[in-house]
Every structure is written in C-alpha cells, then in structure tokens.
Amino acid sequence: MSAEITDPELLQAGLNVAAEPREVREHAESDVLGFWVFLMSDAVIFALLFSIYGTMGNATAGGPVPQHEFKFHSAFWETALLLTSSFSYGMVSLSLKHTRHRIWPALWLGVTFCLGAGFLIMEVRDFLTLFHDGATPERSGYFSSFFVLVGTHGCHVFSGLIWIVLMGIQIAMFGLDQRTRLNLIRLGLFWHFLDIIWVVIFSVVYLGALIK
C-alpha cells in the first residue's frame, strides 16, 4: 500500500504506469519533469512582461487610457471561458485515469477546444475595437506593453488550440497508448499554466485599470 502512495508516477492523473517496467516509469517521469522545466522558463518570460507592463502603467502619452478603452464585461466572460476550459481539461485527465476508451477524452478535448477558441475570438474582437479607437501599440508605452503582454498570452492559447487538434488526430490514429497519454498530460500542464497566467492578467491589467 505504501508503494502505491509514494510512487511518483501516480502523482500524474491519467499516466497509469505503475504496472509498467521501471525504465518505462522513469522515462515517463523524465518527460513530465522536463516539461515542468519548460513551463518555468515560460513563466520567467511572463514575469518580465508583467514587469515591463508595471513600469508603463502611467505612460499613456496623453492618449487613450485603459479606464475608457477596456471592455471589462468582455474580459470577465473571457475569464469565465478560460476557467471553464481548465475544468473541461481536468475531465480529460480524469477520463484518462478511469477509462481506456478514447471517446471520453476526445469529447472533453473537443469541449476544451471550443472554449479556448471562444476566448481567443473574444480577445481578437477586443483588440480590433482598441485599434478602431486609436489605442494601438505605437500610440503609447502603456499600450505597447499591454499588447505585448496580452498578445503573448493569446499566441500561447492559439498554440494550445493547435496542439489540441494534433492530439485529437493522435488519439484517432493511435488510441490512448502510452505516448498519447504523456502528450495529453504535457498539454494539460500547458493549458492550466495559461489559465493561471490569464487570471493574473485579468487581476493586474483589467481589474487594476478598473480601480485606478
């Protein structure tokens, strides 16, 4: 019983390699650990972008200000979509843990894609509205830092959507073999990481502008 509790591979929902040979378990853990290292390096990039945004908080150069330009109701619904997509991807992980049938992980993966795509469409619409109002990156240091920070996160979400499509193809072609499960776990770490970053963006950028 103690081995079941302490085996590190059991800490990853859906990995299910406890019965596999030792070299398979070690390879799986190494792959997941390596992806954690990548996420930490990505977190450093976002930390730098948040620092730049913080230094540009008042650099509007007499142009548009966020209090007048931001659509807070839109940002709220974008947050709701992305947080719901985090829940739906959690269901992907639970499906991997409790079944070997591909239908449920694929179904929840599709739900996650739709929610993520909805988020991205709303964000692009907000960007177009800002451009229409003259709040463009070259207008001020503030909006330069804003578009770089939020745009970088949006590019990550777009990359995640492409990854979801590729995982759907992989599931259709190979089922839920060990390689597919590892890729789904890495994708899950990436997707939840993006949700956390967005919560910080929503709190610092949108709510921060609202209370100024």
Question: 188-205: per-residue pLDDT in tens?
Answer: 999 999 999 999 999 999
What percent of the chain is modeled with pLDDT above 70?
Answer: 86
Neighbours of 12 (CB within 10 A): 21
Does a structural domain hold residue 23? Answer: no
Mean pLDDT across the stretch 14-42?
69
Q: Please report whether residue 204 resides in a domain.
A: yes
Predicted local distance difference test score (pLDDT) of residue 30: 73
| Assigned domain for 17 exists | no
| 13 lies in some domain | no
- Residue 33 forms part of a structural domain: no
The SS3 assignment for 135 reads coil
Q: Is the pLDDT of residue 92 over 50?
A: yes
CATH number, residue 122: 1.20.120.80
pTM for this predicted structure = 0.86
Choose among 96, 56, 106, 57: nearest CA to 178.
96
44 occurs within a structural domain: yes
Task: Domain count for the chain, please give it.
Answer: 1
**Is 3 inside a domain boundary?**
no
Query: Token digits for 188?
Result: 């899950």
52 falls within a domain: yes
Structural domain of 47: 39-210
